[in-house]
Amino acid sequence: MDTASGDGIEALVHLKEEDMAKFEEDEELLHLWKKEHAAMQRALPFVNPTKQAARFLRGEVVSFNFTSLCRFPLYEADFGWAKPIWVGSPSLTFKNLVVFMDTALGDGIEAL
């Protein structure tokens, strides 16, 4: 990296200072940043990964998992017995798992 202010980290710091000066001149952008920053600061206590992990391990947090097989051509599979009229899933060993699939006619979505 080679700029008028020097090489390496000094140049990077100089570029950062120039960018911040431009940023601070744009009042609309600065207002938006302050608004988003304030929202993140309010949300931070709720997303503490250490506390969330501890609550999860104690069983205080219930997690749900979602997946989608929509547009996966399950109803087009023909193994020699003709195409299926309905596709389902056996009991899964996962708790709180929701699987979205297309309906047989392709005009809707089923949740298994």
* Pairing of β 109-111 and β 65-68: unpaired
Q: How far does the chain reach from its first CA to its final CA, in angstroms?
A: 55
User: In the predicted model, is pLDDT for residue 6 greater than 60?
Assistant: no
pLDDT for the residue numbered 100 = 92
Q: How do residues 29-87 score in pLDDT, each as one tens digit?
A: 777 778 887 877 777 666 667 777 777 788 887 888 999 989 888 888 888 888 888 88
The one-letter code for the residue type at 93 is T
Please classify residue 20 by burial: count the beta carbons closer than 10 Å to its beta carbon, then call 0-12 exposed, 13-18 middle and 19+ buried: exposed
Q: What is the mean pLDDT of residues 5-16?
A: 63
Strands across the sheet containing 97-102: 65-68, 97-102, 109-111
Task: Please give the DSSP secondary-structure letter assigned to residue 91.
Answer: P
**Which ranges of the chain does DSSP label H, i.e. alpha helix?**
8-25, 27-43, 49-57
pLDDT for the residue numbered 2 = 45
User: In the predicted model, is pLDDT for residue 5 greater than 60?
Assistant: no
**Hey, CA dihedral for 48, 51, 55, 58, is it positive or negative?**
positive
Q: Which of 21-25, 52-56, 98-102 has the highest mean pLDDT?
A: 98-102
Two structure tokens written together for 55:
């609550």
